[in-house]
């Protein structure tokens, strides 16, 4: 749902700004629009400093297809980013909020260095960098506006929505429907499911009874342990009543088991271990679920992903025998 609202164009423009752009606590909540209905928040600095991601970057740098200079440049640019929020605002297109230790002149310089074409304009008294997307289908082209709404705080939005979005971002005494979790998780999200299922025009018939039974959906990723090497994924579904919670709880685990069987078809034992680590608890009118990934289990998942990515895909025109020849031999137990 969030992906539908936050269109690809906006996502690309956000990526451009992140590359162009450390700070204490997340201040972006102050600028969250009052009309926000769903949010995905990422503490970029906390993740960028994590040893695991540093190792990933080093691994990418060893690839013959990637210029080491590009990796070094990305490290430098990303180090200036504190946090990012992707925001869904109901019927209007989404927007992004970015906290980064750069000024607008630096953003301009970086866009120019990257060969990104843009124009400068004024929107409601603020300087905006306007980026026109290039799509093979002209009707899909958009003009994206990048505005520094406050020192080190940027808003990225579709130009058509920028004026309304700017007013909402800068408004005072806003009543937010979004709840920020305690404990400063590295990644968190919150969705007003009631609004999504019902919206301004009444109940949306395209959503099933389970979606309409939810009030809110929240989730987070927290890195724990002395070395921050254990990932804890947790989520909560607040339901309309205890009956709805019981139905959703009863449905959730079988769905996870089915998904694990498909995802880990090449290694059923790993799929079983994944399912066993998934915990789901029905708490009255709420459903809570968690998945804890320890360093050992994380290493197994990474090894599985690497083997799966290394397996050549068979062309539809190739025979089954040819495909069998390409496939690696099964692991010895």
Domain identity same for 197 and 106: no
In a domain, 328, yes or no: no
What is the mean pLDDT of the segment spanning 188-202? 77
Domain identity same for 174 and 184: no
The span from the CA of 148 to the CA of 100, in Å, is 10
What is the mean pLDDT of the segment spanning 288-304? 90
**Which of these, 2, 90, 10, lies nearest to 40 by C-alpha position?**
2
Q: What is the dihedral of CA 181, 186, 29, 10, to 10 degrees?
A: -130
Per DSSP bridges, beta strands 187-192 and 153-158 are unpaired
Question: In the chain, what are the helix, strand and coil shares in percent, each to the nearest 5?
Answer: 40, 25, 30
What is the mean pLDDT of the segment spanning 89-107? 85
pLDDT at 269 over 90: yes
In a domain, 330, yes or no: no
Q: Residue 139 forms beta bridges with which residues?
A: none
Q: How far is CA 278 from CA 57, 208, 259, 274, 291, in A?
A: 29, 24, 12, 7, 5
Q: Which domain holds residue 60?
A: 1-178
Measured in whole angstroms, the distance separating CA 309 from the mean position of its chain's CA atoms is: 22
In terms of residues, how long is the chain? 333
Domain identity same for 30 and 170: yes
pLDDT, tens only, 229-261 = 899 999 999 999 999 999 899 888 899 999 999
With the C-alpha atoms ordered 106, 112, 113, 116, is the resulting torsion angle positive or negative?
positive
Domain identity same for 42 and 160: yes
- Residue 330 corresponds to which tokens in the numbers above? 């099964």
- Residue 295 corresponds to which tokens in the numbers above? 């360093």
What is the mean pLDDT of the segment spanning 170-190? 87
Domain identity same for 121 and 196: no
Domain count along the chain: 2
In a domain, 118, yes or no: yes
The C-alpha angle 241, 193, 172, rounded to 5 degrees, equals: 115
Domain identity same for 298 and 207: yes
Q: Which residues contact 184 (CB under 8 A, 6 or more apart)?
A: 25, 26, 43
| pLDDT for the residue numbered 47 | 83
Domain identity same for 101 and 192: no
pLDDT at 198 over 80: no
Count CB-CB contacts under 10 A for residue 54: 12
> Which pLDDT band holds residue 144 (cuts at 50, 70, 90)?
very high
Quote the pTM value.
0.76
The span from the CA of 159 to the CA of 136, in Å, is 20
In a domain, 327, yes or no: no
SS3 221: strand
Alpha-helix residue ranges (DSSP H) falling in the chain = 2-5, 8-20, 44-48, 51-61, 68-78, 104-113, 159-170, 193-198, 209-212, 242-263, 268-277, 295-310, 320-326
Q: How far is CA 146 from CA 91, 129, 163, 264, in A?
A: 21, 5, 12, 42
Q: What is the dihedral of CA 87, 125, 113, 131, to 10 degrees?
A: 60
């Amino acid at each position: 749902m969030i992906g539908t609202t936050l269109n690809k164009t906006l996502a690309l423009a956000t990526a451009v700004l992140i590359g162009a752009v450390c700070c204490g606590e997340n201040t972006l909540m102050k600028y969250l629009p009052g009309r926000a209905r769903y949010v995905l928040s990422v503490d970029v600095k906390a993740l960028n400093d994590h040893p695991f991601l540093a190792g990933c970057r080093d691994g990418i740098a060893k690839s013959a297809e990637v210029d080491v200079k590009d990796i070094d440049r990305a490290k430098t640019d990303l180090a200036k980013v504190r946090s990012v929020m992707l925001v869904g605002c109901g019927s209007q297109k989404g927007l992004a909020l970015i906290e980064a230790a750069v000024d607008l002149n630096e953003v301009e310089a970086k866009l120019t260095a990257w060969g990104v074409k843009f124009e400068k304009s004024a929107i409601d008294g603020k300087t905006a960098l306007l980026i026109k997307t290039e799509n093979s289908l002209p009707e899909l082209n958009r003009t994206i506006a990048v505005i520094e709404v406050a020192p080190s705080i940027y808003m990225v939005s579709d130009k058509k929505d920028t004026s309304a979005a700017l007013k909402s971002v800068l408004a005072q005494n806003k009543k937010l429907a979004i709840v920020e979790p305690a404990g400063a998780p590295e990644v968190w999200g919150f969705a007003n499911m009631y609004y999504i299922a019902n919206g301004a025009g009444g109940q949306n018939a395209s959503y099933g009874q389970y979606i309409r039974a939810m009030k809110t959906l929240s989730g987070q990723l927290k890195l724990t342990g002395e070395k921050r090497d254990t990932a804890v994924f947790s989520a909560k579904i607040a339901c309309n009543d205890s009956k709805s919670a019981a139905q959703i709880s009863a449905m959730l685990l079988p769905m996870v088991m089915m998904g694990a069987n498909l995802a880990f078809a090449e290694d059923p034992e790993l799929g079983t271990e994944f399912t066993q680590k998934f915990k789901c608890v029905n708490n009255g009118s709420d459903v809570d679920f968690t998945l804890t990934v320890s360093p050992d289990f994380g290493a197994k998942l990474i090894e599985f992903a690497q083997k799966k990515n290394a397996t050549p895909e068979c062309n539809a025109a190739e025979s089954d025998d040819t495909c069998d020849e390409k496939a690696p031999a099964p692991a010895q137990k």
